[in-house]
Every structure is written in structure tokens, then in C-alpha cells.
Amino acid sequence: MNLNSIYIKADSDFSKFLNEWALNNDVEILNYDQKSSDFPEGLLLINANQDIDRDHLDIHTLFDKKHIPTQKIDVNGTLQVAVSNMEIWLNNFKCKNILILGSDTLLKNENLNRFFSRISK
């Protein structure tokens, strides 16, 4: 996966998980601020069984209105399909700096670790 940086929302357990993953994979971490002029090139919305937090849906709508590429990944779906879809999405839209959002409840889902270990390769 050819990511330069990922944006995270500060102060969440999911963000801490992403920060650890990024450190192990040589990916820069940036804090997401909706008001900043430095805006991500894409949005990856990670969920389980299409259960998405309301504030994440609002951010998805914002990206959609700005015509910024978005991708939703369900970690409870087929792992290979999720990984392939993400790689195709990143390659097609040439996203190198993306915002990744997910609920803190995902941390209890063993499929989240499987997904991130697969995209690390």
C-alpha cells in the first residue's frame, strides 16, 4: 500500500490503534481538522456490518459534496475483497494522504487486526 500519511481524529481509541499501526508501517500521522486548509485526498470509512457512527456519516457527506473520493470497508466482509477494494480505490484515485475513520467498538473485532495486518504487506 502506497500511503504517505493518514489523518486521524484526535483522542479516540481507534485513532490510537491507527497511530500504532502507522508507526510500524512508516506512515505519517496527521490530525484531522475540518477547518484546516490541509485536507485529505480521500476518506476510508471502516465499519462492521455497515454500522457507522453519525458523525462519521456527516464527514462522509462533507467529502462527497467536495467530490473527494470515499471508500467504505466492512471488516466483517470477505477479507480479500476488502483488501483488494481498498488497493483498487487507492490506485484509481491516486490517494496518498487519507482520513481513516472508525468506531472505538471496532477494536473488539478481531477482523480489524486481520485487515490491518493484510494491508501492511
Over residues 41-65, the pLDDT tens digits come to: 999 999 999 889 999 999 999 999 9
Domain ranges of the chain: 5-119
Cβ within 8 Å of residue 15, ≥6 positions away = 8, 9
- Whether residue 68 is predicted with pLDDT greater than 90 in this model: the reply is yes
DSSP class of residue 121 equals -
What global pTM score does this model have? 0.93
pLDDT value at residue 26: 92
List the CATH code of the domain at 5-119: 3.40.50.450
**Closest residue by Cα to residue 69 from 38, 44, 105:** 44
